[in-house]
Amino acid sequence: MGIVLITGATAGLGQACAATFAAKGYDVIITGRRKDRLDALQTQLTQEYGANVLPLHFDVRDEAAVKAVLGNIPEEWKKIDVLINNAGLAAGLSTIDEGDTSDWDAMIDTNVKGLLYVSHTVIPWMRSRTTGHIINIGSTAAKHVYAKGNVYCATKAAVDAISQGMRIDLLSYRIKVTAIHPGAAETEFSLIRFKGDEAKAKEVYKGFIPLSPQDVADVVFYCTSLPPHVCINDLVLTPLQQANAYYTDKN
Ligand code: NDP
Ligand code: 8X3
């Protein structure tokens, strides 16, 4: 089928994407900071789907590490067909005057700069083959800002804008760029946002049926399964009870 690279494959949406693409016959490059999870996922994907798996252990915020680890993969793995820029986080939920600046750094460095470092490494390989598909995971938070979401929403609006820019710049190389913007999906996202507070994290998903990681992975895969001349540019998916980042009908 081809080769897919998924950043942030140790949990949530990225992990579901890894399993989905492996099940469809892709060779899979999985990345993240938690090496134990990468190793476990490699074993699972190999045993369940017979997939070839390349686990890469690095922090997307560290440009030198991105270049050293991802930049030096074996030549046969550089023929990446699909890049899923998924690694990301929300850190904290505070008004702008009360925000923690280290949270801001983490979100901007991961969600924006990390996505750029990884893309900057992979795009030349796609360009040389005049083919490829970049999927950037944005959020409904890219489309509407919600109270206390300030910097997180800004990073996802940046992902939206970068996706538009990539699409223009890469048109002549026939590289597809798709931004996918999920609404609330139950993953480790809220646990990370609330720094391990499980009660607060669980509260986020009460009163409605959130997206599952598999729901999102199925949509991501669909976008990659269209004919070569068709590109979904921008796609928003939400739970039925969520209209946008701000309005959720909880009961
Ligand atoms: P999870 O917390 O479950 O997973 C996040 C993944 O990102 C993990 O694999 C984590 O791996 C990786 N990651 C985070 N920081 C870094 C880093 N510095 N370097 C490398 N990898 C990193 O969250 P989700 O699966 O929910 O989130 C995935 C993406 O989807 C994010 O971009 C998020 O903003 C977006 N999103 C999530 C929504 C939701 O409701 N869950 C809705 C809309 C968008 P590790 O810790 O091992 O490094
Ligand atoms: C994650 C969804 O609504 O918590 O991007 O911002 S939300």
Q: Which residue, judged by its Cα, is nearest atom 3 of ligand 2?
A: 245
Low-confidence ranges of the chain (pLDDT < 70): none
Tally of CA atoms within 13 A in the half-sphere of 165 that contains its CB: 8
Strands 234-237 and 27-32: unpaired
Is residue 173 flagged as an active site residue? Answer: no
Q: Which residue, judged by its Cα, is nearest atom 6 of ligand 2?
A: 141
**Cα separation of 142 and 115, whole Å?**
15
pLDDT of residue 251: 87
Q: How far is the CA of 176 from the centre of ligand 2 (A)?
A: 25
Counting ligand 2 atoms within 8 A of each CB, the residue from 111, 140, 188, 206 with the most, and so the one to mutate, is: 140
**Cα separation of 215 and 150, whole Å?**
27
**Cα separation of 131 and 146, whole Å?**
37
Our answer on whether the CB atom of 34 is closer than 6 Å to any ligand 1 atom is yes
Report the Cα 164 to chain-centroid distance in Å.
Answer: 16
Check the CA dihedral 99-14-170-164 and report its sign. negative
**Domains assigned to the chain:** 3-237 (3.40.50.720)
pLDDT of residue 231: 98
Q: Which residue, judged by its Cα, is nearest atom 9 of ligand 1?
A: 8
| CB burial string 43-63: b at 16+ within 10 A, e below | ebbeeebebbbbbbbbbbbbb
State the SS3 of 166-211.
HHHHHHHHCCEEEEEEECCECCCHHHHHCCCCHHHHHHHCCCCCCE
| CB burial string 209-242: b at 16+ within 10 A, e below | ebbbbebbbebbbebbeeeeeebbebbbbbbebb
Nearest to 182 by CA among 224, 244, 115: 244
Q: How far is the CA of 153 from the centre of ligand 2 (A)?
A: 8
Nearest to 155 by CA among 88, 201, 221: 88
The dihedral region occupied by 130, where left means phi > 0, alpha psi between -120 and 50, and beta the remainder, is: left
* Atom in ligand 2 nearest the alpha carbon of residue 184: 2
Q: How far is the CA of 118 from the centre of ligand 2 (A)?
A: 22
**Residue of 26, 49, 152, 205 with catalytic role:** 152
pLDDT of residue 48: 98
pLDDT of residue 133: 98
Q: How far is the CA of 108 from the centre of ligand 1 (A)?
A: 13
Counting ligand 2 atoms within 8 A of each CB, the residue from 189, 244, 246 with the most, and so the one to mutate, is: 189
What is residue 38's three-state secondary structure? helix
* Atom in ligand 1 nearest the alpha carbon of residue 187: 3
Q: How far is the CA of 135 from the centre of ligand 1 (A)?
A: 14
Burial, 187: exposed, middle or buried (Cβ in 10 Å; 0-12, 13-18, 19+)?
A: buried
Residues with CB under 6 A from ligand 2: 139-141, 149, 184, 245
* Atom in ligand 1 nearest the alpha carbon of residue 7: 21
- Rounded to 5 degrees, φ, ψ at 57 are -110, 105
Q: How far is the CA of 8 from the centre of ligand 1 (A)?
A: 6
